[in-house]
Every structure is written in C-alpha cells, then in structure tokens.
Amino acid sequence: MSGHLDPGDAALSPLLFREAGLADIAAMREIRAAVTENKLSDPERVSVRMIEDYLTTLGKGWVCERGGHVLGFSFAASKSQSIWALFVRPGHEGQGIGKQLLAMAADWLFAQGAERVVLGTAPDTRADRFYQAQGWLRGELLANGEIFYSLDRTP
C-alpha cells in the first residue's frame, strides 16, 4: 500500500524500517516525484527498470513505512560505494526517517567492504544541511553542480 498517510496519524502505528522490494517501486517513484527540493526535471530519467536494477543487482534499498504506507526510502549502490537515493515523503520530515534510512544504507556498504561511502546533493538545501548534521564530511562542488559528501568507516 503506498497511498498518502496524514502526518496527524503518526501516533497510530510505529515506523517500520525494512529492505525494499519490487512491490515498493510505485511508492518510491511517487515520493521522488513529490519532493520539493532536488526535483527531477524529467521524472522518467529514473525509470522503473533503473530502480529494479538497484534493488536486484546494483545495490540494495530500504523503506520506512507506517501502517502499510511508504514514507521514505534509500538506495545504496555497491559498485560506486555510494548512496544513490534518500527521500522522505513531504510532510513526514523531522521524524528520524531520513537519518535511519541513511544509516542503514551506509552500514550496508561498510559491511560490503567499503572504507568510504560517498554521495552528492544540491548545495544550500535541507539535504546539504542534513548530511552535515549527520557527521558526513562536506567536500567540493562537483562538475555536475552537486556538493560531494563522504563518510569514512569508523574503526
């Protein structure tokens, strides 16, 4: 089930974090299209096939749900040892969803042998401030206009 859950219903059921599956793709695409920052100019640029590939062969994904409604998701890309995506449904920010999904993706990459996990995001956004607050090291501006972030494995 992927429909909208009213933020006022937050106390009705606990947050559940789990590995994402193919059945979650519609909800993930809905969330990705609904975000107000880091919007895709062409939503079809991230195709269903691309998401399927990240779920089955290129990495792993996780979702957070409440009452059967997906509220956020993250993807880790194994080859690039990077966080490919992290999004929370508008209206559900500030509940620890992004923090937990980010930790799950980074921890999985470290468990796969990564010494450093990287990601990119738009500068001067909530995401930019969020990654800094989570202890990620803010790096240089990349050629694609994104800010580079990294997190090293702790001994």
| pLDDT of res. 38 | 64
pLDDT at 40 over 80: no
Looking at the chain, the number of H-run helices and the number of E-run strands are 4, 7
Structurally, the chain folds into a number of domains equal to 1
| pLDDT of res. 36 | 72
Q: What count of residues does the chain have?
A: 155
Model confidence pLDDT, tens digit, residues 99-119: 999 999 999 999 999 999 999
53 is a domain residue: yes
Report the Cα 120 to chain-centroid distance in Å: 12
135 is a domain residue: yes
Q: Are strands 69-77 and 82-88 parallel, antiparallel or unpaired?
A: antiparallel
| pLDDT of res. 1 | 45
pLDDT at 124 over 80: yes
Residue-number span of the structural domain to which 59 is assigned: 13-152
When pLDDT is averaged across residues 8-24 and rounded to a whole number, the result is 84
6 is a domain residue: no
